[in-house]
């Protein structure tokens, strides 16, 4: 189902002029790497996680993700449990070093320019990612993107529990989470004149097929083949 601009906009947007919705996947799309994978590797490198126990498992999950066979709940148990073992203050301090050492080098000029083009046009820009919001919120802010839809770690009294809150923002879950996000703002698909989604991964095919303008960015082999068959634009930000 593709979006149409024929229906009346929701009351929260101007009746005279509809805005455009622009969705960005993060890992291997805006970033030239995977923040999820690199966060675990970073924790291993500073001795927070045991290399022998965690590195092979981190690589295993990453390969499953690329193959399209990832069990998201098994992965989230692996990914979020370490957050529960340390205070938020300590995690935030580690994340500042993570941004400096790992993330900013993966934020290329082409990706920054693409985001700025859409921001300058007045588009509603959203990072939508399966990676948890603790890891990704500072990255979205660094790109100058106001809105983030990510997998939400459960927290209690300001500290992480190691669980996940709500629907993970993964595969079809991205559509569920996006529609919840829209509804919370009194928006809907028809509130926008146009919707674009940039992604590198076949895992994002459900949302790519939902929008008017799917764009494959440095795509994996399966997404590249599908994009070529469908006549979708294929671009590189590398």
What local confidence, expressed as pLDDT, does residue 222 receive?
95
How many residues can be counted in the chain?
Answer: 238
- Considering 27, 34, 123, 220, which one is annotated as catalytic? 27
Provide mean pLDDT across the span 158-186: 95
Sheet bearing 213-217, strands edge to edge: 159-165, 147-156, 124-132, 19-24, 192-199, 213-217, 234-235
For 73-85, b/e burial (b = at least 16 CB within 10 A) is eebbeebbebbbe
* Position 1 in a domain: no
Q: Is the pLDDT of residue 6 over 50?
A: no
Q: Is the pLDDT of residue 9 over 70?
A: no
Provide mean pLDDT across the span 172-189: 97
What local confidence, expressed as pLDDT, does residue 11 receive?
44
Helix (H, G, I), strand (E, B) or coil at 153: strand
pTM of the model: 0.89
* Position 136 in a domain: yes
Longest dimension (CA), the chain: 59
* Position 63 in a domain: yes
Residue with tokens 């809150």: 165
Phi, psi of 199 (to 5 degrees): -155, 155
Q: Is the pLDDT of residue 3 over 50?
A: no
Q: Which residue has the higher pLDDT, 178 or 64?
A: 178
* Position 5 in a domain: no
Provide mean pLDDT across the span 99-126: 98
Kindly report, residue by residue over 24-38, the tens digit of the pLDDT: 999 999 999 999 999
Per the structure, how many domains does the chain have? 1
pLDDT band at 151 (very low <50, low <70, confident <90, very high): very high
* Position 114 in a domain: yes
What local confidence, expressed as pLDDT, does residue 17 receive?
67
* Position 9 in a domain: no
Structure tokens at 184: 């919370």
Question: What's the CATH number where 51 sits?
Answer: 3.40.50.1000
Provide mean pLDDT across the span 128-133: 97
* Position 11 in a domain: no
Cβ neighbourhood burial of 178 (10 Å; 0-12, 13-18, 19+): buried
What local confidence, expressed as pLDDT, does residue 184 receive?
97
Residue 27 annotated to the active site: yes
* Position 14 in a domain: no
Structural domain span for residue 221: 19-235
* Residues 6+ away with beta carbon under 8 Å from 42: 94, 97, 98, 101, 102
Residue 25 annotated to the active site: yes
C-alpha 45/C-alpha 131 separation (Å) is 20
Provide mean pLDDT across the span 82-90: 92
């Amino acid at each position: 189902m593709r979006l149409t601009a024929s229906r009346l906009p929701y009351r929260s947007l101007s009746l005279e002029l509809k805005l455009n919705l622009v969705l960005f996947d993060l890992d291997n799309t805006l970033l030239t790497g995977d923040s999820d994978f690199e966060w675990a590797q970073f924790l291993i490198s500073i001795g927070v996680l045991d290399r022998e126990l965690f590195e092979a498992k981190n690589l295993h999950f990453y390969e499953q993700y690329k193959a399209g066979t990832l069990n998201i709940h098994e992965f989230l148990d692996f990914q979020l449990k370490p957050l529960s073992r340390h205070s938020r203050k300590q995690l935030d301090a580690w994340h500042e070093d993570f941004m400096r050492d790992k993330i900013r080098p993966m934020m290329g000029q082409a990706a920054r320019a693409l985001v700025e083009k859409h921001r300058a046009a007045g588009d509603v820009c959203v990072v939508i990612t399966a990676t948890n919001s603790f890891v990704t919120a500072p990255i979205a802010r660094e790109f100058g993107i106001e809105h983030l839809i990510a997998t939400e770690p459960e927290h209690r009294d300001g500290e992480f529990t190691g669980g996940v809150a709500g629907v993970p923002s993964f595969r079809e879950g991205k559509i569920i989470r996006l529609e919840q996000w829209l509804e919370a703002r009194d928006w809907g698909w028809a509130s926008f004149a146009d919707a674009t989604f940039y992604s590198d991964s076949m895992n994002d095919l459900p949302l790519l097929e939902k929008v008017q303008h799917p764009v494959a960015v440095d795509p994996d082999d399966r997404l590249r083949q599908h994009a070529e068959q469908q006549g979708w634009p294929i671009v590189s930000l590398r």
